[in-house]
Chains A and B, each alone.
Chain A
Amino acid sequence: MAKILVVTSGKGGVGKTTTSAAIGTGLALRGHKTVIVDFDVGLRNLDLIMGCERRVVYDFVNVCNGEATLNQALIKDKRLENLYILAASQTRDKDALSKEGVEKVIKELSEQFEYVVCDSPAGIEKGAHLAMYFADEAIVVTNPEVSSVRDSDRMLGLLASKSKRAEEGLEPIKERLLLTRYDPERVTKGEMLGVEDVEEILAINLLGVIPESQAVLKASNQGVPVILDDQSDAGQAYSDAVDRLLGKEVPHRFLDVQKKGFLQRLFGGRE
Chain B
Amino acid sequence: MLAITTLELAHNDLDRLDRQLQAKVAQAPAFFENTPLVLALDKLPEAEGTVDLNALMQLCQHHGLRTLAIRASRAEDVSAANALNLPVLPPSGARERLVDPAPVKVVEAEPRPSRIITQPVRGGMQIYAQGCDLIVLAAVSAGAELLADGNIHVYGPLRGRALAGVKGNTQARIFCQQLAAEMLSIAGQYKTAEDLRREPLWGQAVQASLSADVLNIRSL
Residues of A within 8 A of B (CB): 150, 153-154, 156-158, 160-161, 200-201, 203
Nearest B residue to A155 via CB reads B122
Proximity string of chain B (116-160) to chain A, C-beta cutoff 8 Å, 1 when within and 0 when not: 000111111100000000000011011110000000000001010
By the criterion CB–CB under 8 Å, are B123 and A150 in contact? yes
Which of B122, B139, B157, B159 interacts with A154 by CB under 8 Å?
Answer: B122
**Nearest Cβ in chain A — how far from B207, in angstroms?**
23
Residues of A within 8 A of B121 (CB): 157
Is A154 a contact of B120 with CB atoms below 8 Å?
no
Complex Cα gap A161–B121 (Å): 11
Contact present for B119 and A153 (CB under 8 Å)? no
Q: Which residues of B contact A200 (CB under 8 A)?
A: 157
Asked if B124 and A157 sit within 8 Å, CB to CB, the answer is yes
- Given the complex, which residues of B lie within 8 Å of A160, measured CB to CB? 119-120, 122
Q: How far is the CA of A228 from the CA of B139 in the complex (A)?
A: 38
If A154-B122, A157-B123, A161-B125 are given as contacts, then 15 extra A-B residue pairs at C-beta distance below 8 Å, sorted by A number, are A150-B123, A153-B141, A153-B142, A154-B143, A156-B120, A156-B122, A157-B124, A158-B122, A158-B124, A160-B119, A200-B157, A201-B139, A201-B141, A201-B159, A203-B139
- Given A156-B120, A203-B120, answer yes or no on A150-B125 (Cβ-Cβ < 8 Å): no
**Residues of A contacting B: mostly:** helix
Residue of A nearest to B122 (CB): A157
Bound-state CA distance A53–B177 (Å) is: 52
Q: Return chain B residues, CB-CB under 8 Å to A203.
A: 120, 138-139
Which of B120, B123, B139 has the most chain A CB within a 10 Å cutoff? B123
The CA-CA distance from A229 to B62 in the complex, in Å, is 122
Chain B residue nearest in CB terms to A151: B123
Closest chain A residue to B142, Cβ basis: A150
What is the CB-to-nearest-CB distance from B192 to chain A, in angstroms, rounded to a whole number?
17
5 pairs, A vs B, C-beta closer than 8 Å:
A153-B122, A154-B143, A157-B123, A157-B125, A157-B141
**Bound CA span A156–B121, Å:** 10
A158 to B144, CA, bound (A): 12
Inter-chain contacts of B159 with A (CB < 8 A): 201
Q: Which residues of the other chain, B, contact A158 by a CB distance below 8 angstroms?
A: 122, 124
Chain A residues within an 8 Å CB radius of B142: 150, 153
Nearest Cβ distance between residue B109 and chain A, in whole angstroms?
Answer: 33
Chain B residues whose C-beta falls within 8 Å of the C-beta of A156 in the assembled complex: 120, 122
C-beta contact mask, B55-68 vs A, less than 8 Å → 1, else 0? 00000000000000
How distant is the Cα of A153 from the Cα of B182 in the complex, in angstroms? 15
Give CA–CA (A203, B144) in the complex, Å.
15
CA–CA, A157 to B117, complex, Å?
A: 13
Taking the closest CB of chain B, its distance from the CB of A73, in whole angstroms, is 34
CA distance A154 to B160 in the complex (A): 12
Q: Give chain B nearest CB distance to A97 CB in angstroms.
A: 22
Q: In the complex, what distance in Å separates the CA atom of A201 from the CA atom of B119?
A: 14
Distance in Å: Cβ of A99 to nearest Cβ of chain B: 21
CA distance A158 to B125 in the complex (A): 9
A120 to B123, CA, bound (A): 19
Which single residue of chain A is at the shortest CB-CB distance from B119?
A160
B123 CB to closest chain A CB (Å) equals 4
Cα of A178 to Cα of B4 in the assembled complex, Å: 88
A193 vs B121: C-alpha distance in the bound complex, in angstroms?
21
Question: Are the CB atoms of A154 and B119 closer together than 8 Å?
Answer: no
A157 to B145 Cα, complex, angstroms: 12
Contacts of B120 in A (CB 8 A): 156, 160, 203
Residues of chain A within 8 A of B122, CB atoms compared = 153-154, 156-158, 160
| A177 CB to nearest B CB, Å | 13
| Cα distance, A157 to B121, chains bound together (Å) | 7
Nearest neighbor of A160 in chain B, beta-carbon distance: B119
Q: How far is the CA of A5 from the CA of B47 in the complex (A)?
A: 102
